Structure 1
Amino acid sequence: MNRTHIPIALQQAVMRCLRSKLQLAQHHFARTFAEPKILYQQRGTLAGSAWPQAWEIRLNPVLLQENQQPFIDQVVPHELAHLLVFEQFGQVAPHGREWRWMMEQVLSVPALRTHQFALASVQTKTFSYRCACQQHQLTLRRHNRVLRQESHYYCRHCGERLVFSG
Structure 2
Amino acid sequence: MGCMTENPPSEAGLQARIKDAVRDWVAYAHAHLGFGRRPLPVPEVRLDLRGRGAGLAVISPRKRQPDLIRLNATLLREHPREMIEETVPHEVAHVVAYRLFGRRIKPHGREWQDVMRAFGKDPSVSHCMPAEPTRRLRRFAYRCGCESPVELTSIRHRRVQQGAVYRCRRCGERLIFSGESA
TM over 0.5: yes
Q: Which residue of 1 aligns with 2:117?
A: 104
CA distance, structure 1, for counterparts of residue 163 and residue 112 of structure 2: 37
SS in 2 for 1:40: strand
Tell me, yes or no, if structure 1 residue 29 matches structure 2 residue 34.
Answer: yes
Tell me, yes or no, if structure 1 residue 115 matches structure 2 residue 127.
Answer: yes
Deviation, structure 1 residue 127:
5.5
Deviation, structure 1 residue 149:
7.1
Q: Percent identity?
A: 25
Q: Which residue of 1 aligns with 2:69?
A: 57
More helix by share: 1
Question: Would the alpha carbon gap of residues 101 and 144 (structure 1) be closer, same or farther in structure 2, given more than 3 Å must change?
Answer: farther
Deviation, structure 1 residue 85:
1.2
Residues 1-166 of structure 1 aligned to structure 2 (within 5 Å)? 7-27=11-31, 28-31=33-36, 32-53=39-60, 54-89=66-101, 90-105=103-118, 107-120=119-132, 122-126=133-137, 143=156, 147=160, 166=182
Deviation, structure 1 residue 116:
0.7
SS in 2 for 1:71: helix
For the aligned residue pairs, the C-alpha RMSD in angstroms reads 3.3
1:33-92, Cα deviation, whole Å (9 max, x unpaired) = 111100111111111111111501011111111100111111111111111111111221
Q: Which residue of 2 aligns with 1:3?
A: none
CA distance, structure 1, for counterparts of residue 29 and residue 72 of structure 2: 24
Deviation, structure 1 residue 16:
2.1
CA distance, structure 2, for counterparts of residue 136 and residue 73 of structure 1: 41
CA distance, structure 1, for counterparts of residue 151 and residue 91 of structure 2: 29
What residue ranges of structure 2 are gaps of 5+ in the alignment?
A: 1-9, 61-65, 141-149
SS in 2 for 1:19: helix
AA paired with 1:76?
A: V
CA distance, structure 1, for counterparts of residue 35 and residue 112 of structure 2: 19
AA paired with 2:85?
A: D
Contact 1:126 1:137 in 2 (8 A): no
Which protein is bigger by CA-based radius of gyration?
2
Question: What TM-score does the superposition give when structure 1 sets the normalisation length?
Answer: 0.71
Contact 1:49 1:79 in 2 (8 A): yes
Contact 1:127 1:143 in 2 (8 A): no
